[in-house]
Amino acid sequence: MEIPEQDAAHMARAVELAGRGHGSTSPNPVVGCVVLDAAGAVAGEGFHAYAGGPHAEVVALARAGERARGGTAYVTLEPCDHTGRTGPCSVALLDAGVARVVIAVADPNPKAAGGAARLRAHGVAVTSGTLTGAAERVNEEWLTYARLGRSHVTWKFAATLDGRSAAADGTSQWITSPEARADVHRLRAAAGAIVAGVGTVLADDPSLTARPATPAIDPSLTARPTTPAIDPSLAARPAAPAIDPGVPGRTPLRVVIDTEARTPQDARVLDDRAPTLIAVADDAETALKADLLRLPRHANGLDLHALLRELAAREVVSVFVEGGPALAGSFVAQGLVDRVVAYLAPALLGSGRAALGAAGVETIAGIHRLTFDDIAPIGPDLRLIARPTQPGREK
């Protein structure tokens, strides 16, 4: 089905707006909305800025006011049809008198779905499936969480051009530049949890915290030209608030994968800078004073499927996996890596620890294929973002 040029342009703008909510809406999705008046001019825009705050449709409708009557709303995710911390967006659209609603992605959450059906039942024209791929990509963490019942996984590593994450003597600070490390903290701050293995805790005693605690909005999202042009009456005001100043910064949960409960009691991950969960085998004996999560054993470690389901039950939408090659290999082998973020330094070691350990591949036919999504310079380094060509392999 060919998408009308105007629909594509306005939905692209809604997707861009949705991206501004990254890192502050969990456990809710990121959503963007553009409202046109009856003549087809942009009357209001909005995005979901933080959990518990007004939804994208409500923000856009408030800015549009009476101009929304008889107009069109473009929404990246099906308007919700239930009452939670806010009222149903489907009802808000009906009350505003919108004549047409264009939706990119159907809501997979049965509790919230049904908005499209309600709108149609009340005579609103509904178009679904516009720029679905782009809208799914901007909301991939939450969609993984909602569709698969587990946290979305990003594996991050830093390495030399020859793939070494540490020298032969085990030293690794610092392979990449201060600019790359600052970018890592930005990504950490946007995650629901930061995950590392006990080997990393024993070797490096990391804090596993993010600086800053409140994720900054990616400037690339606000620097792009507006598409389509905004009505001049709206040009003087921002598209929507970045993060409500009254909302406290969310601190990512720290998770240590520690099968035999070897984490030292005085490890920095057990300080009071952030909450910490130590995942241990269900039969491990320990006197460790910490919040323990007991999980079944799997191969040479823990059942990571069970870990991600448990984290999802705690409303952790996304996890940021750091640490050593063994843990990374376990996530890859179990088909649980949804995105890879690699920082490559223009340097060579020739020996030392590889970035990825055993990942369940015995022959080239079993190789884990990825596709590049973004390649960007970060200071003197290169940041590569890639995704599996067969996402959700664990199904």
Strands 100-105 and 72-77: parallel
Catalytic-role residue among 57, 78, 140, 322: 57
Say whether 57 is catalytic: yes
The sign of the dihedral angle between the CA atoms of 108, 77, 57, 313 is: positive
Cβ(278)–Cβ(307) under 8 Å? no
* C-alpha to C-alpha distance for 206 and 371, rounded to whole angstroms: 31
Helix (H, G, I), strand (E, B) or coil at 162: coil
Cβ(307)–Cβ(283) under 8 Å? no
Q: What share of the chain is helix, strand, coil (3-state, %, to 5)?
A: 30, 25, 50
Query: In DSSP terms, which residues pair with 90 in a beta bridge?
Result: none
Q: What is the CA radius of gyration of the chain?
A: 23
* C-alpha to C-alpha distance for 231 and 74, rounded to whole angstroms: 16
Helix (H, G, I), strand (E, B) or coil at 16: helix
List of residues 6+ apart from 200 with CB closer than 8 A? 206, 322, 323, 324, 327
Give me the active site residues, please.
Answer: 57
